[in-house]
Amino acid sequence: MREKWLHQVFDAADSDQKGMLDEWETIALMKKLNDKLCIRSLKQKIMEFEFGKDEEERGRISKKVFITLFTESSTRPDIYFILVRYCGRDYMTVEDLQLFLEGEQGVYGLSVDECMDLIMKYEPSEEARNNKQLLIDGFTQFLLSEECDIMSVHHKDICHDMSQPLSHYFISTSHNTSVLVTKAIQWTLISAFIVFTVIYSKTNSKVRQVLRDTPELYSKVLSLQSYSVRFCLLNTDFIKGCRCVKVDCYDGNDGPVVYHGNTLTSKVALEDILETIHANAFVVSEYPLIIHLENHCSVDNQKQMSTMFRNTFGATLHIPSAEEPLLAAQVSPEQLRGKVIIKGKKLSPNGDTNDGNVSDEDDESRGRDVHNKHIPLCPELSDLIALTRIRLSDFSSLQQSQSEVSQLSEALASKLALSCAEELAHHNKAFITQVSPDVSRVDSSNVNPLDFWNCGVQLVAMNYQTGGQMMDLYRGWFSQNGSCGYVLKPAFLRERFCLFNSRRKDSLPGIDPLCIRLKIISGQQLPRPRGASRIDPLCIRLKIISGQQLPRPRGASSKATSIDPYVMVQMFGVSADCAEARTRTVSNDNPLFEESFEFNVSVPELALLRFVVLDDDYINDDFIGEKVVPVECIQSGYKHIRLNNMNGECLPTATLFVHISLTHRYGSKQKLRRKRSWSQKQSTDLRSIGVKAIDEQFKNASTLIHESIQLRRGVEKVIIDLCDECSLQESANMAQCLRVVTLRLASTSTVQTCEVVTTDQGYPVLRATGELTPKLTKTMNTVEKAVSEFYYVTQNAKNSIEMLSEIHETVVSLGDQLPTHCTSQSIKGRKADKIAENFMWDMSVLRTEMDLLSAIKNDCECALKQVERLGSSLKRIFQRERESITSSSAKDPLAVPVLTGATLTPQPEPKQPPPSPLSPGDGRLRGILKKTSQSSSPSALDQNELHFHENVFLSSDESNASNSPKLNNS
C-alpha cells in the first residue's frame, strides 16, 4: 500500500510524463511528503545513488529510484521496529492505535472515533485513511507531533489554580534588566526587554532587520535623530513568562533615565522603557507584572516618574490605598490579572522614616551600612508602591507585613537555607521573599534557583542575558503552567500544618517520592537515596533510543561534517535527588543509543530532568542542545524531545527519541510482596500531642487510616497477581493486560468468543465463552478478581475520604488554639516545640493518607473505564486474530499459530530471544530499513526489547516471568 501511494505521488509530480524527476524536483517532493527530512542528507543520498552513472544520466531520478530513496531516507528503524513489534505488520488499525495510546502512551479517554481523527490527520496515504490504517509514514509523523512531546499537553496551558494567594507561587524574575550596550551593537537577553544601542548610522542591517519585524517600533526608531541611544525593544521571544523586571532609575539631563549604575552602560529615557513594557507586558502572560523599581533620583525627577507611571499604564497600574493594601496572603494572580504592580521603597504610614527619607538603594544593594544614610522620597511616588521592599539581615528578628517583600542577598539566603530551612520555608507560606545574585558576580553568572525554591522563595532573580545550566533550569521550570511566569508551589510549601526540610535525611510524611529508573544496559545502576519515604516511589524508566538531525556544535566550522554525540541525563532537585548519567558516544548525527537509566527522586514536585547532548570530540565547544522538563510534567510513552540551543531557542529539527514509563512500584515481585507484608504490620505513625481533644480526633483517624491502607494494599496485590499472569512489568496498566489476555484467548482454538460484559453489580469485565485451558481459566479469574477489587475500592473509598476530610477540618481548627493551650498550661521551650512538631507530623500523615486514598480511587476508576472503553476494540482484535489463525491453518494444517502482536514492555532476563528483524533468516522486514554503517552488538536486554515476546503466549505447562504492573494516570 505504501509503494502504491508513492507511485501515485510520483506520477502526480511528473507533469511531463517522462518518468523522471530532476534532483531539485525530487528533493522538493520528498520534503513535501516528509518535512522532517534533511536536505543535506537527501543530497548525499542522491549522490550515492548516482555513483557510477554516466554524465548524461546523472540528475535524473526514475520512479523506482525515487521510491527506494524515499523509503530508505524516511523509514526510521527504531520507529519501524515499534510498529512491527506491536502489530506484527507494517500498519496499525484504528483498534491497534487505541490500545497503543491507552497502553503505551498513557493517553486515556480516547474513543475509536477520536483515534480515527488522528489517522485522518497524520496518515498521508488516502487509501490507508479509507481503510482506517496508519502506515509507517503516518505513524512517524504522529510520534513527531506535539501530541507526543515529552511535556504533557495539559501543562502547556494554564493548569494551576491561579486563585491562591500571591505568596503561594514561584514567580519568574529577572535581575539587572536594564543592562545596556556600549561601544558596539550587542545583544543582551533580558527577562523584561532587550535594549539595542543604535548608533546614528542607519545602515546596520542586523538591527534594521530586527526592527522591521516590528513596524510600529521601527518607525519610532527612524524618527529619533538626536540620540546616540535610540531605542529599547521588548523582545517577547526572550522574555516568555517573565513577570518581575528590574528598572534602575537615575537623574538624567532631560528627566529620569534607566541604566545599570556604576557600569559603562548607555542611558535610555525612562519614558521609552515604560512605553515598551506597557506595549508588551501582557503579550505572553495575562497575569500581573511586577516592576522592581530601583530609585536613585531626586525629588523633582521622582515626581516626573510618578506622572510617567500613571500616564503610561493608566488603569492597568495597581495603586494600593491605606484602607486596602496589597496583601500577599490574600490577593491572587487571578484577581490581579492584567495589572502592573510596582515594588520598591515606600514611606511608612506611621512616619517612622526621617522626614520622608528612605534608605539609599545603591548602598543597600551592595550591603553597606545604610542605617544612617537616607535619600528623600516624594509622596507621589511612594503612593504608587504596592509591594514594599525591606532589607533582611537577621531572620530571627524579622518583622514583616504581608504587603512587604523581604530582600535577601545571595550569601544570606544560602546561609538561611542551610541553617534554618524549615523556618524559611514556613515563613514563605505567608510572606514574599526575593533573592538576588551577589554583586560579586561581575560576570553576570547565575545562582542555582533550586537552592531557594526548595525553601519556598518566590522571587529568585536571574541574569537572563547569561545562558548556561542554571538558566536552562530556570526556563525549564517556568515552561509549565502555560509559560505564564507563575508556578503554584507544592502543597507542602503552602499548607500551614506541614513539615518540609529539603536537607532533612529522615523520611517525612506528605511527600510522595519519585523513583526515576534509568537502568543502563551495561549494568550500571543508581542506588536509592538515603531517607526515602515509606510511601512507594513513582518509578520513571527512561530509555534513550535515538537522536535525529543533531547539528554540529557552534563554531565547529573547521571540523568534519560528522559529530560524535552522547547524551548526559541530569536530575536536579533537593540535595538527595541530584544525580546524573550518560550514554556511550555514537559517531553519527542520527545516533542510535538504545540505553536505559533509572533515578530515585524523593521530592518529584521540586525535581527537574535535564537532557544535554554533547559532542565528544570537539574540544572548545561541545554543546549541541539541551532540554529541561519538570518531572511533574513528564508524560509516559514514546516521546520526542525537541532540543534547545544555549539561548533557549528551539532547534527546528534536532530531537531525542525516548521511552518513559511511570509507576509507583519498582523492584522485583518478591520485593514488592515483602514490602506489602511489612506495611500491613506497621503502625499509622501518629504521635501523641498531649492535648485530649486533638488526640481523640487523631485516634478516630487512626482506624480510618488503617482501613485506607488495607484498600490500597488490596489493589496492589491484585495488580501484582494480574501482572504475573500477563508476564508484564510493574509499569503496565490495565489496557496492556487486557490486550495480552485477548491475544492469548484468540490463540486458543476452543475459545469461541471474547467480549466485555457488564456484571449484575454494574462494573465491566472481560468474559470468554468456550472451553478454556487451566492456564486461561486462572488468567480470566485473575482479571475478574482485579476488576472486582477496583469496583470495591471505588465504592468504599469515597466514604473514608469524606470522614478523613471532616477530621482534618476539625483538627485544623483545634490547631489554631494550640498556642493558647500551651500558654495556659505554662508549656514553654523545647516541650512546646515538641508538641508543635508532633502536631504538624500527625497533620502531614493525615493529609498524606487522604491524598493516597484519593489517588488509588482515581486509579481504580480509570481502570474500570478502560475496560469499558476498550471493549469493542478488544472484540475486533480477537476476531481479527482468530480469522488470521484460521486462514493460516487452512493453507497449512501443520503450521504453528503465531499471533500478530505483543506488548512493548521489555521482559527481564529472557531465556532465548527470538530472531531480530535484521538477523539472518528473517528478510521480510529488512527490505525497507535504512542501511547503517554503525555496527552494534546489543546485549540480551537490548535484543529482547527489539523483538516480539515469546512469553506472552505461554501454554498451560509453561512458567511466567515475575513482574508487577501499575495503573498509569495521565
C-alpha cell read off for 970: 495521565
**Residue 584: count of CB within 10 angstroms of its CB:** 15
pLDDT at 328: 75
C-alpha cell read off for 53: 552513472
pLDDT at 929: 44
For the chain, what are the domain ranges? 2-74, 77-148, 166-193+234-493, 514-664, 670-878
Amino acid at the residue 510: G
Specify whether the CB–CB gap between 446 and 437 falls below 8 A: yes
pLDDT at 375: 79
- Geometric angle at alpha carbon 931, from 926 and 936, rounded to 5°: 95
931 versus 360: which is more confidently predicted?
360
For residue range 100-148, what is the model confidence (pLDDT) as tens digits? 999 889 888 889 999 999 999 999 999 999 999 999 999 999 999 999 9
C-alpha cell read off for 856: 488509588
> Who's near 289: CB < 8 A, 6+ residues apart?
243, 244, 245, 277, 281, 282, 339, 340, 341
Q: Where are the alpha helices (DSSP H) in 355-468?
A: 361-365, 379-382, 410-419, 421-427, 450-453
Considering the entire predicted model, what is its pTM? 0.81
Across the range 870-896, mean pLDDT stands at 78
Q: Is the pLDDT of residue 492 over 90?
A: no
| Band of residue 366 on the pLDDT scale cut at 50, 70, 90 | low
What is the β-pairing status of strands 385-391 and 404-409?
A: parallel
pLDDT at 672: 52
For residue range 305-325, what is the model confidence (pLDDT) as tens digits? 999 999 999 999 999 887 778
Q: How far is residue 904's CA from residue 949's CA, in Å, rounded to a whole number?
A: 8
- 87-91, 191-195, 857-861, 904-908 — which is least confidently predicted? 191-195
* CA nearest to 392, candidates 405, 407, 374, 402: 407
| Band of residue 170 on the pLDDT scale cut at 50, 70, 90 | very high
Q: How far is residue 817's CA from residue 832's CA, in Å, rounded to a whole number?
A: 13
Q: Is the pLDDT of residue 641 over 70?
A: yes
What Å distances lie between residue 438 and 262, 459, 463, CA to CA? 15, 15, 11
For residue range 343-353, what is the model confidence (pLDDT) as tens digits? 999 887 765 54
335 versus 665: which is more confidently predicted?
335
665 versus 581: which is more confidently predicted?
581
For residue range 568-579, what is the model confidence (pLDDT) as tens digits? 999 999 888 888
Mean pLDDT value across the chain: 78
For residue range 60-77, what is the model confidence (pLDDT) as tens digits? 888 888 888 888 888 999
Q: Is the pLDDT of residue 807 over 80?
A: yes
Q: What is the CA radius of gyration of the chain?
A: 32
What is the β-pairing status of strands 60-62 and 404-409?
A: unpaired
Of the ranges 35-44, 662-671, 948-957, which is most confident?
A: 35-44
CA–centroid distance for 188 within its chain: 28
What is the chain's percent helix, strand, coil content, to nearest 5?
Answer: 40, 20, 40
Fold agreement between 77-148 and 514-664: no
The CATH class, in words, for 514-664 is mainly beta
Which is it for the CA torsion 99, 102, 104, 105, positive or negative? positive
- 183-187, 193-197, 821-825, 954-958 — which is least confidently predicted? 183-187
Specify whether the CB–CB gap between 907 and 951 falls below 8 A: yes
Across the range 1-14, mean pLDDT stands at 86
Backbone angles phi, psi at 593, to 5 degrees: -95, -55
Q: How far is residue 311's CA from residue 440's CA, in Å, rounded to a whole number?
A: 37
What Å distances lie between residue 137 and 43, 549, 853, CA to CA? 21, 18, 43
Q: How far is residue 351's CA from residue 718's CA, in Å, rounded to a whole number?
A: 69
Show contacts of 800-803: CB within 8 Å, 24+ apart.
Answer: 800/704, 800/707, 800/708, 800/711, 800/853, 801/850, 801/853, 801/854, 801/857, 803/704
Backbone angles phi, psi at 367, to 5 degrees: 75, 20
pLDDT at 947: 35
pLDDT at 326: 79
- Geometric angle at alpha carbon 598, from 538 and 651, rounded to 5°: 100
Specify whether the CB–CB gap between 461 and 436 falls below 8 A: yes
Q: How far is residue 926's CA from residue 920's CA, in Å, rounded to a whole number?
A: 10
**Residue 235: count of CB within 10 angstroms of its CB:** 19
* CA nearest to 79, candidates 687, 568, 548: 548
pLDDT at 557: 54
What is the β-pairing status of strands 459-462 and 169-174?
A: parallel
Residue with cell 541604566: 259
Specify whether the CB–CB gap between 902 and 914 falls below 8 A: no
Beta bridge partner(s), residue 758 = 764
Beta bridge partner(s), residue 739 = none
Specify whether the CB–CB gap between 69 and 45 falls below 8 A: yes
* CA nearest to 686, candidates 830, 848, 813: 848
Span between the terminal Cα atoms of the chain, in Å:
34
- 45-59, 529-543, 669-683 — which is least confidently predicted? 669-683
* CA nearest to 304, candidates 247, 342, 250: 250
Q: Where are the alpha helices (DSSP H) in 75-204?
A: 77-87, 94-103, 112-122, 126-130, 136-143
* CA nearest to 457, candidates 481, 480, 418, 489: 489
2-74 — its CATH code?
1.10.238.10
Specify whether the CB–CB gap between 639 and 660 falls below 8 A: yes
Q: How far is residue 81's CA from residue 69's CA, in Å, rounded to a whole number?
A: 20
Specify whether the CB–CB gap between 74 and 33 falls below 8 A: yes
Instruction: Looking at the structure, give the CATH architecture of the domain made up of residues 77-148.
Output: Orthogonal Bundle (1.10)
| Band of residue 678 on the pLDDT scale cut at 50, 70, 90 | very low
- 87-101, 510-524, 720-734 — which is least confidently predicted? 510-524
| Band of residue 268 on the pLDDT scale cut at 50, 70, 90 | confident
**Residue 810: count of CB within 10 angstroms of its CB:** 16
597 versus 354: which is more confidently predicted?
597
Query: What is the percent of the chain where pLDDT is above 70?
Result: 74
- 253-267, 615-629, 666-680 — which is least confidently predicted? 666-680
For residue range 911-934, what is the model confidence (pLDDT) as tens digits? 333 333 333 333 334 334 433 334
C-alpha cell read off for 784: 475478574
* CA nearest to 712, candidates 701, 720, 724: 720
166-193+234-493 — its CATH code?
3.20.20.190
* CA nearest to 241, candidates 172, 342, 292: 172
Specify whether the CB–CB gap between 152 and 970 falls below 8 A: yes
953 versus 269: which is more confidently predicted?
269
Across the range 49-63, mean pLDDT stands at 76
Burial of 457 (0-12, 13-18, 19+ CB in 10 A): buried
Specify whether the CB–CB gap between 529 and 576 falls below 8 A: yes
Q: Where are the alpha helices (DSSP H) in 237-396?
A: 270-280, 299-313, 361-365, 379-382
